[in-house]
Amino acid sequence: MLKPKQIIGMTDLVDFPDLGLFDVQAKVDTGAYTSSLHCKEVRLVKSGQKKILCFLLIDKTGKDSRQFYCDQFSQRMIRNSFGVAEKRYVIETRIVLFGRTIRTEFTLADREALKNPVLLGRKLLRNRFLVDVTQKNLSYQKKLNSELSDDSQPSLPD
């Protein structure tokens, strides 16, 4: 039996526990197949016989960018919003939406000129979510309500 699909709004604040990023602004884009993550200075570095992907994740909240290394990655042609094909690196990482941890692929792209550092594509949304473009931050609101209810629980004596 299929799980019922969760309603997701046009934008939300999401967490990336593997990357130590929390409450990151994301845009839902049903026109994009693959999800995308904003980063800069993507390059391959050699570590012995192995090549490792190195990149800077940019935090738009004003915090310093952080260097990440990944030894599990691929590269593929992605058609951008203008229809131009470009080669991008792809990593797999976990994202948290509505309290669910989902392992999925993200292309690494410079999204500095765009409002949202994360784009959530159809591959992530399929069979999990229905998009209501009149809504926003539904997952984040659920997270806040969950944290508030956890804080309001009386603590048990030792």
> Per-domain residue ranges for the chain?
6-132
Alpha-carbon gap, residue 121 to 31, rounded angstroms: 7
In the three-class reduction of DSSP (H, G, I as helix; E, B as strand; rest coil), residue 138 is classed as: helix
Cβ contact 10:116 at 8 Å: no
Each residue's pLDDT, cut to its tens digit, for the chain (158 residues) gives 667 889 999 999 999 999 888 999 999 999 889 999 988 888 888 888 888 898 888 665 556 678 888 889 999 888 876 778 888 999 999 999 999 999 999 999 877 777 888 999 999 999 999 999 999 999 999 999 888 876 655 554 44
Which residues are CB-contacts of 55 (< 8 A; sequence separation ≥ 6)?
A: 39, 40, 41, 42, 43, 67, 68, 70, 89, 108
CATH number of 6-132: 2.40.70.10
What's the pLDDT at 158?
46
What's the pLDDT at 156?
44
